Chain A
């Protein structure tokens, strides 16, 4: 049986205002590129850019991928590799950042 014949019986899927999310993502992208040309120190600049990209990623995940409206069990499945990836990346960065700043 192919997927075209699957009758989906999940809980009702909500659709937020996607154009508002799109506008927010666009504004954040402009801010990111603009922040590059502001006279911040390197550390402030890096932290600002990372924070902006995390906000954008969260917006995509929450609204476009509907994680905000999904069941807790799916969140529990996703959170494990996500947190592990974040922790490993941050630890890698912290172990080496003194050579950079």
Chain B
């Protein structure tokens, strides 16, 4: 695309914002709205199954709460680094953008690694998604945490791509849409984990 054509497109984007949001941001928020309903369905099913079951393990009886508490801390840290990357876009500091995106990526990988270790440990102890020591509990646990984990994986892959773009110098105070959009998704994933950690691990 020629420079003139790109300028024309920029003008079009500037003028075509009927509700004051650019299309990508509106699209991301609509996607997140559908995700709210998706996780609400899963949590609702969990409530029905749990309250309809006579025996359910107590918090900490099977799951390792301190380990997952530490993992929650890591995900919260990753949200902070993500939003700092967004902040440094506005401050036009390309090195800081890359640094904070890299930290977010690392925190995301650590979160997934700890979750994988937790799964292996639980499977070794007999808690399986399709049977084992407590069939229903295992199914609920793995479905909820694994769906969330898949979302984290999607976020980590997205962060990896914008990290590459950041290394190539694509982002500054006027060009930050991918950082903002991936950031919104990442914060949503963090928010969902805050709820899941309480419901699945602590209650």
Contact = CB atoms under 8 A, between A and B. Distances in A.
Nearest to A19: B80
B144 to A, nearest CB: 14
Contacts of B13: 6-7, 9
Interface string A75-101: 001101110111011001100110110
Interface residues of B, number: 68
Given A1-B6, A18-B80, A18-B87, A97 B51 contact: yes
B72 interface: yes
Contacts of B174: 7-8
Contacts of A25: 76
Contacts of A61: 187, 191
Contacts of B51: 93, 96-97, 99-100
Q: Is the interface of A mostly helix, strand, loop or mixed?
A: helix
A46 to B, nearest CB: 5
B178 A4 contact: yes
A89 B44 contact: yes
A90 to B, nearest CB: 10
B176 interface: yes
A77 B69 CA distance: 33
Contact of B33 (A35, A60, A81, A88): A81
Contact of A89 (B40, B73, B170): B40
Most buried by A among B9, B65, B76, B194: B194
Given A49-B202, A81-B37, A96-B48, A4 B184 contact: no
Interface string A7-45: 111110101001101100110010011011000000001
Given A6-B13, A61-B191, A100-B51, A52 B20 contact: no
B14 interface: yes
B29 A33 contact: no
A85 B37 CA distance: 6
A78 B202 contact: no
A46 B50 CA distance: 14
Contact of B191 (A3, A21, A45, A60): A60
Contacts of A57: 191, 194-195
Nearest to B24: A3
B103 to A, nearest CB: 13
Interface in A56-84: 56-57, 60-61, 63-65, 71, 73-74, 77-78, 80-82, 84
A88 B77 CA distance: 31
Interface of A: 1, 3-11, 13, 15, 18-19, 21-22, 25-26, 29, 32-33, 35-36, 45-46, 49-50, 52-53, 56-57, 60-61, 63-65, 71, 73-74, 77-78, 80-82, 84-86, 88-89, 92-93, 96-97, 99-100
Given A6-B175, A78-B33, 6 more contacts: A6-B24, A53-B198, A64-B80, A81-B34, A85-B39, A89-B47
